[in-house]
Amino acid sequence: MRNTPLSTAGKSLLLAPALLPALVAAQERYNIVYIMTDDHTAQMMSCYDKTHVSTPNLDRIAADGVKFVNSYVANSLSGPSRACMLTGKHSHKNGFTHNEHGIFDGSQQTMPKLLQKAGYQTAIVGKWHLVSLPTGFDYWNIVPEQGDYYNPDFITMANDTVRESGYITNIITDKAIDWLDHKRDKNRPFALFIHHKACHRCWLPELKYLNEYEDKTFTKPSTFNDDYAGRAAAQAQEMRIASNHDMDLVYDTKMYRPGMKTRLTENYLRMISRLDSADLQTYDDFYDPMSRDFYRKNLTGEALTDYKYQRYMRDYAKVLKSLDDNVGRTLDHLREAGLLENTLVVYTSDQGFYMGEHGWFDKRFIYEESLSTPLVMRLPEGLKARGEISEMVQNIDYAPTFLDLAGAEIPADIQGRSVLPLLKGKHPKDWRKAVYYHFYEFPAEHAVKRHYGIRTADGWKLVHFYRDIDSWELFNLNEDPNELHNLYGQAGTEKITRRLMKELVELQKEYDDQTALSLNGAAAEGIK
Ligand code: SGN
Ligand code: CA
């Protein structure tokens, strides 16, 4: 059933017949290349949404495979999302609930460790963001914390920090290709995790792309001027493009002028000062005249916000362009190396992002833009599904999927579900009808209150914001896809609220989220 590049195996066999069983066994198992970016959202990926940019190489993955149109994370933040992916478990079970103050317990069961046991080689390059050093990988080379765009540091397996020269997205790809070509045992199947920094804040472009998108005026989303009426937590956040506290004029918008000191100026100068002097000159030659012009205009109010929005969108799109190039380069290399037809290539992000929806950047909320994450897969020979897959999937599903694909057993304590049947073109009747979400990082930057909730396949969402707030929200996505009207407590919603509360409690029980169960309080009274 599993088609294999037998011609490759056949050629080797002529040379070394004794290797026949081992080679065939190795070739029969699919490889996995998992590409995960940071803060890349479906609104900025043309196979999902053509409004803003074109991403031809990312789209190639979907064109040769599948595009999940209901793909979600369990906790919309980097470290937690990565921990969910590695363990196949929700945050309260893998222990990494938030970036700040967390440390991933690398001694626990993880999917890479289980793949190793099943005979796979495992490697990871790029962003890790789990504080403790990687476990379960035969090879790793990671960036410290968030990593730097320019001349970034990498931590080696000997725990040395080495500064590399170049642009991070190119370097991570070079490292991945180098591992494929020179650092692995070519007789064994592998799982390679390529974790990009792109497109994380503060969107520093590759210098060759500084001029891209400068002529383009991006269209603001219809919800840009949301007043957050009826949504207390949305009111309280600090992720507004319009706010110079939230979106820093220097750090985010790059409008620096000598002597200027905003909240994040120092961070910005530290980041760009990593460029060598010639490159820094190129960088300054691009942004300085723009900055001078900006301060001359003395923009205020809506004009200032519009200006910041364009800068944000343009710089994000530039960073994305290098990413798209490099994903293309990765795909081309897999093809040239004869690996493509026997490899599952996954492309996703650690979560979605706001591109001005509700007036925001950043993520964290259970609202659609950041609960969702792009997910496309190029399927190897033998996996027949094509086009859109509409079943609800979540990042806790990746671990069981990869184990399933590797022919390894999926431990009972893994909470996600293998999507392999979906990749084979099947549509199991008992597929999940709702996803469960829990966000913990508060108090913290961007001030998004702690909350948990469910989002159902039939378009309903029930959310509870808690801790220093006790506020429920209910949305009918079929009638209100932008989540502007909180229906919770309104007359006529009693029945649907009861149904959703029951489903929420069921999921909390299924996933054993005791903390959340204890926080439902009076709202869930009478629900068993
Ligand atoms: C940093 C950013 C935040 C961002 C978090 C989490 N601030 O703290 O804007 O929300 O990372 O992002 S910055 O001043 O350091 O850029 S995550 O993707 O890693 O979870
Ligand atoms: Ca992220």
pLDDT tens digits, 148-165: 999 999 999 999 999 999
Mean local confidence (pLDDT), 436-450: 98
Closest by CA position to 446, among listed 313, 309, 248: 248
**pLDDT, position 527:** 87
Q: Is 94 in the pocket of ligand 1 (CB under 6 A)?
A: no
**CA atoms of 524 and 101, how far apart (whole Å):** 31
Residue located nearest, by CA, to atom 19 of ligand 1: 78
Residue 293 has pLDDT above 60, yes or no: yes
Mean local confidence (pLDDT), 343-358: 98
Distance 104 CA to ligand 2 centre (A): 16
Residue whose token pair is 């496309």: 376
CATH assignment of 436-524? 3.30.1120.10
Q: Dump the DSSP string for 313-361.
A: HHHHHHHHHHHHHHHHHHHHHHHHTT-GGGEEEEEEESS---SSGGGB-
Q: pLDDT tens digits, residue range 194-213?
A: 999 999 999 999 999 999 99
Number of continuous H segments (helices) and E segments (strands) in the chain: 16, 16
- Give the largest Cα separation in the chain, rounded: 77
Sign of the C-alpha dihedral computed for residues 471, 476, 477 and 482 taken in this order: negative
Residue 1 has pLDDT above 50, yes or no: no
Same fold, 28-203+315-432 and 436-524: no
Q: What letter represents residue 127's amino acid?
A: K
Burial zone of 129 (CB within 10 Å; 0-12 exposed, 13-18 middle, 19+ buried): buried
Residue located nearest, by CA, to atom 18 of ligand 1: 78
Provide the whole-model pTM. 0.95
Q: Is 445 in the pocket of ligand 1 (CB under 6 A)?
A: yes
Angle CA 398–154–44, to nearest 5: 50
Q: Are 139 and 123 in contact, with CB atoms under 8 Å apart?
A: yes
Distance (Å) of CA 268 to CA 65, 196, 251: 40, 20, 5
CATH assignment of 28-203+315-432? 3.40.720.10
Phi, psi of 54 (to 5 degrees): -115, 130
Residue 51 has pLDDT above 50, yes or no: yes
The environment of the single-atom ion ligand 2, i.e. residues with CB closer than 5 A, is: 38-39, 78, 350
CA 474 to chain centre: 25
Q: Per-domain residue ranges for the chain? A: 28-203+315-432, 436-524
Contacts of residue 490, defined as CB under 8 A and 6 or more positions apart, other chains included, come to none
Closest by CA position to 272, among listed 262, 260, 280, 264: 280
Q: Are 230 and 485 in contact, with CB atoms under 8 Å apart?
A: yes
Residue 252 has pLDDT above 60, yes or no: yes
Token output for 78: 């980097």
